[in-house]
Structure 1
Amino acid sequence: MSATVTVPAYDPAVPDSAARVVTAHLDQLGIGQHTVRWQEGGLSYVRRDIPPGLGWCRATGRPEALWPIGADLTAEVEWFPDRDVPAGQQAEHWQTRLTAITTALEGLGYVVQRPGPRRTPEVCRSVPMLVYRLATGATADPWPEDGWDHLDLYPEYRWPAQSPGSIIERLLRDGRLGGGITYYARTLDTYQWPAYATAAAMVSWRPPAGADADAWTAAMARVRRLLTAAGYQLLCHPREWRPGIDHRPYLIAYRRDGVR
């Protein structure tokens, strides 16, 4: 573990604070991006200095609506294997490194889970992980190992099939939500889908300049009514909206048709 990395204080009021904390811990553990920066000839340079055989990890934020119940800090961590490890040794490399990364993060008090369809070295270039810290007194929800077995790793939506985001955007257009408001939907990566979901998308509103928190709340209430009537289950942002701090209002819409 590196003693030169300063872990910032976690501030739940700052949207990317969780990812910053986890990034610092990854660097502290020596499993982060190993970024080296220097200046030469008046120019700034950046290089990854990754020890062989380890791969590297990157932490990013996760929408709070998708945080596990009881978590007070959550980030997505993606591990990239060492591509120089021979193909015949990649399976062992994956197993060894993922076990080591999980153990290291658990040693710092994190819960580490790997949602989504199962990944293998033959078809995947990275492994996403859910890394979170529980609030005092909370316990982790049971993890459904089969929760994503019904999904393709990389779904293809060929006509006449449509992606979950496209289906919801059509509903938004047909629903004629008023006021010149622009709603849009984006299909989530399958590792972000709730367990046993058969479709999932993030639905957002693009607020006009000067829109206040009441306008944000009203906009999302309209889309909630529309999608609930269409049979979707919803995951909503757990706090009041803060224009100027939060990036945009959103919710997660998903279905569990014929699974559970």
Structure 2
Amino acid sequence: MTIMEVSLLTGFYPNQDDLKQHRCPLPGKGCCRRSSCRPPWSLSTTTTSLPRGAALSTTCLQSNLPCERSATKTSADVQRCSQCSRSPDPAGQCPSLQKPSGQLRQEELQTTACEAGVDFVYKTKLESVEVSASNSYVYYNMQLEDIIKSGTDPATPLAMKKFVSHATCHDSLGLQEQESYLIMGQTSDLWRIKSEYSYVLGRETFLMLWPADGDASKKELRKQLEEFSEYMRTHGCES
């Protein structure tokens, strides 16, 4: 019997009915679908087993991950099969830019930054956006201008990081290149690839435009953001 452990992004759940049927006859060609998914995205794991004598070259564990179509031969009898397809529209799961109504106080930002589960707080600058009609995901290449609250990823200022959202969220999110943003993310937003981390932009991600120095109309907001940043670096979270 072959034991296989499959790691999926959060929201990509294995189809338990299919897993229970893992002893079904395997087709001569193609893939036996073992999993289904629904957004949002971060890491989860499932383990399944295949019958003794099952040829992995005729079996594919399918999940909808932001990757390229690939089928890599690892030996004469074993083939790793990875297949990607467009996941369902993540209705209600898209991130959104915070638009303060009235005067924003730095204390409100401190409370949000120190909520349970908030792993990191960054001031970022969006350098470029990768969009493709053939890809279900949009990649935002951001430079970390300031590490306001460090987290799991040992990131350093000026490092480039990749943030990911579903393609259906791109227009509504409306992030603009060369603009700066305050981003607060959950631990579940982290997606580790080897020794690097990428970040998922989901419903729980806090996003706010950080006004440019020359924007006189947002002077007070910029002041509050700067005071919040200074306080967090000096005092951090109380607990």
Q: Pick 1 or 2: higher relative contact order, CA cutoff 8 A, min separation 6.
A: 2
- More strand, by proportion: 2
* TM norm structure 1: 0.25
- More helix, by proportion: 1
